[in-house]
Amino acid sequence: MYWDAFTYFDAANRILTGQIPTLDFFTPAGPLGYTVAAIWIAVFPNGQPSLLIHWSTMTVTVPLMALVLAGVPRTPRMLGLLLVVPFLLFSLLPFNGKEFSSFPGSDAFGFYNRQTRLILYPLVCGLLFTRHRGVLITLVTISMFVLFFWKITGFLAAGLICAFALLAGRLRMRDAAFAAVFFAATLALIEVWTGIVSSYIADVYTLVQMNSGTLFPRIAQALSINFGIVTALSALILALLVVGRSELQQAFAVVLEERSTASVASFLDRPAFWLAAITIAGVFFETQNTASQALIFIWPALLWVLLTLPSWAAGPHSVMLVAGLVGAAYLPPVVSILERTARAYVGGLRYASLEHENLKTLGAVTARASVLRRSEVMTGIYEHHRSTYDEIAASGELPGSTLYSEFDFQITYLQTVDRAINSLRTLEARSGVHFDTIMSLNFTNPFPWLMERKAPLHITVGADPFRAVAAPDADVERAVSSVDIALMPTCPPTDANARLLALFAGGLSNHQRIKLDDCYDAFIHPKFGPMPPSNS
């Protein structure tokens, strides 16, 4: 699903041409991640997209981890290293824990899901290990601010974890109040200066309305996709409660006797309850994700279990049981990502580079020769049997249930975009026109970036009509009606693209529809006059 990377380049092009996320265009996640990626794209114009977007997160995560290291105690001496190594592993490797293809390859999708987990990681580290009050307040405030503008579900998950930290006494009420006031004041200043906060909240509300009926099914999906780690964590929590039951009973008796905030905090501030709180927050976050590095931010709590285990375990059998369950919870995703990395870079040695003329760094991909051949064959079939695929799209189905995650579909998309740019330039030269604003009736719109043009205002980045594109309002209608050219891919036609066309049909009603080439139709603004169809 490499076209997920295109959404960041689409957003970067808009930002670099003066558009502001949430004010001028809708984003399926928060505006900050796209803005940071845009900066990296501008600074590293020759960077490979999937690496560049993933690594851009270090703009915020590295300073947060530096704060953590500044506040952790000096003993045990290896504590900082044990916290940093997993962080570096997940920060450097652009791989998800689950595979969507039997062929080796890197994961150029699920970016903001991976990024959000990497931001949650130092926050959990700080709550569990930082003892410096100033460092902790700074860490919590910055983390919550970043998460709010990165992905709102990550912000809510962090809120659940911070709420438990408050109950468990790791975060003082005064410190939490200070962080909340500073956070609110910062949002207020940004809102007064730009108006972006209220616009962003309105976008979030729109997304919630569009996806409100999917929460409970998605909880089941999150639990099933991450069954292994959730089961191991559940077993570990139960084992910790059983092994430490005598201490737990004594602490609970103190709570009943004293009925004080301090006694409740002392009772809750133990590994089993922390693991439960972080797991619940993690599963909640996973309800909006279908792939990524699930629950990697549980490691600080697991490390706490390992560091304190000898002091309270009932004997060697308890130590072995708990240590084994810690390994069962965290080693599978680590091993999976390391294995996928090795497969991608070793197997990729036999891959062939994609040939292209117009794709810039978006074409910096390799694939198996068999995938390239299949893409060529399928493109010809799409071209000559379009009516069949139109009928499939009209039925609300895809040609294959996993079409978008198939390597050959993504390669076909790259090749047809490359060819469409040539067709566009030919049309412009033949007609003596210049299309300044380019829209795409598709999930993503790489054309403005690749052709150094502009994207229209108010159009969603990552246009999933089932989850992220609301019915157009007057502003959207005006933006669509003024667009110079809108492009619709037809190799193959899909129900999603047909739905996008239906949504924007009002704005395109006066545009002339022509066949640009065998794999793209074009809708051209009437100001350019009648256009002849392509000769392809």
* Signed CA dihedral, 413, 418, 421, 427: sign only: negative
Question: Cα–Cα distances in Å, from 87 out to 50, 79, 92, 112?
Answer: 18, 13, 9, 16
Structure token digits, residue 245: 């039951």
Within a domain: 3:
no
Coil, strand or helix at 235:
helix
Please compute, for residue 283, the number of CA atoms within 13 A of its CA located in the half-sphere on the CB side. Answer: 23
Rounded to an integer, the average pLDDT of 412-421 is 97
Percent above pLDDT 70 for the chain: 97
The reply to whether 418 and 335 lie within a common domain is no
Would you place residue 313 in the very low, low, confident or very high pLDDT band (cuts 50, 70, 90)?
Answer: low
Q: Are 135 and 17 in contact (CB under 8 A)?
A: no
Among candidate residues 507, 499, 508, the one with its CA nearest the CA of residue 210: 499
Residue at 161: amino acid letter: I
Within a domain: 41:
no
Q: pLDDT value at position 291?
A: 61
Q: pLDDT value at position 448?
A: 97
Among candidate residues 503, 509, 524, 519, the one with its CA nearest the CA of residue 26: 503
- Contacts of residue 279, defined as CB under 8 A and 6 or more positions apart, other chains included, come to 230, 233, 234, 237, 295, 298
Structure confidence by residue, pLDDT tens digits, 253-267 = 988 888 888 899 999
Within a domain: 16:
no
- Contacts of residue 403, defined as CB under 8 A and 6 or more positions apart, other chains included, come to 409, 494
Task: Give the whole-angstrom CA distance, residue 247 versus residue 228.
Answer: 29
φ, ψ of residue 474 in degrees (nearest 5)? -65, -40
Q: Are 139 and 123 in contact (CB under 8 A)?
A: yes
Q: pLDDT value at position 415?
A: 96
- Contacts of residue 213, defined as CB under 8 A and 6 or more positions apart, other chains included, come to none
Coil, strand or helix at 513:
strand
- The last residue of one of the domains, among 345, 361, 393, is 345
**How many domains is the chain built from?**
2
Q: pLDDT value at position 535?
A: 57
Q: pLDDT value at position 319?
A: 82
Within a domain: 17:
no
The reply to whether 389 and 454 lie within a common domain is yes
Helices within 109-151 (DSSP H only): 111-129, 133-150
Rounded to an integer, the average pLDDT of 363-371 is 92
> Would you say residue 534 has pLDDT above 70?
no
The reply to whether 314 and 174 lie within a common domain is yes
The reply to whether 294 and 430 lie within a common domain is no
Among candidate residues 277, 281, 280, 274, the one with its CA nearest the CA of residue 244: 274
The reply to whether 214 and 167 lie within a common domain is yes
The Cβ of residue 28 has, within 10 Å, a number of other Cβ atoms equal to: 18
Within a domain: 1:
no
* Signed CA dihedral, 283, 293, 465, 155: sign only: positive
The reply to whether 294 and 331 lie within a common domain is yes
Structure confidence by residue, pLDDT tens digits, 34-91 = 999 999 999 999 999 999 999 999 999 999 999 999 999 887 879 999 999 999 999 9
The reply to whether 260 and 405 lie within a common domain is no
Question: Cα–Cα distances in Å, from 327 out to 160, 224, 233?
Answer: 25, 20, 10
The least confident of 62-76, 145-159, 308-322, 348-362 is 308-322
Full residue range of the structural domain in which residue 404 is found: 372-528
Task: Give the whole-angstrom CA distance, residue 412 versus residue 62.
Answer: 37
Task: Give the whole-angstrom CA distance, residue 290 versus residue 288.
Answer: 7
> Would you say residue 536 has pLDDT above 60?
no
The reply to whether 339 and 391 lie within a common domain is no
Q: pLDDT value at position 198?
A: 95
Strands of the sheet with 520-524, listed across from one edge: 438-440, 485-489, 520-524, 512-517
Q: Which residue has the higher pLDDT, 248 or 392?
A: 392
Q: Are 173 and 132 in contact (CB under 8 A)?
A: no
Look at the pTM and tell me if it is higher than 0.75: yes
The reply to whether 264 and 154 lie within a common domain is yes
Please compute, for residue 187, the number of CA atoms within 13 A of its CA located in the half-sphere on the CB side. Answer: 19
The reply to whether 400 and 285 lie within a common domain is no
Would you place residue 226 in the very low, low, confident or very high pLDDT band (cuts 50, 70, 90)?
Answer: confident
Within a domain: 93:
yes
Q: pLDDT value at position 348?
A: 83
Helices within 151-226 (DSSP H only): 152-167, 173-194, 196-211, 215-225
- pLDDT, the chain, mean: 91
Would you place residue 493 in the very low, low, confident or very high pLDDT band (cuts 50, 70, 90)?
Answer: very high
The reply to whether 295 and 401 lie within a common domain is no
Within a domain: 38:
no
Enumerate the β-bridge partners of residue 501: none
Structure confidence by residue, pLDDT tens digits, 186-218 = 999 999 999 999 999 998 988 888 776 666 777
Structure token digits, residue 97: 């824990």
The reply to whether 234 and 88 lie within a common domain is yes
Rounded to an integer, the average pLDDT of 147-157 is 95
Enumerate the β-bridge partners of residue 438: 485
Residue at 177: amino acid letter: A
φ, ψ of residue 513 in degrees (nearest 5)? -95, 125
The Cβ of residue 252 has, within 10 Å, a number of other Cβ atoms equal to: 13
Structure token digits, residue 417: 């975009």
Helix or strand run (H / E) with residue 490: none
Structure confidence by residue, pLDDT tens digits, 236-246 = 999 999 888 88
Within a domain: 12:
no
Q: pLDDT value at position 131?
A: 85
Helix or strand run (H / E) with residue 272: helix 271-286
Q: Are 210 and 314 in contact (CB under 8 A)?
A: no
Residue 21 gets the label, from left (phi > 0), alpha (psi -120 to 50) or beta, of: beta
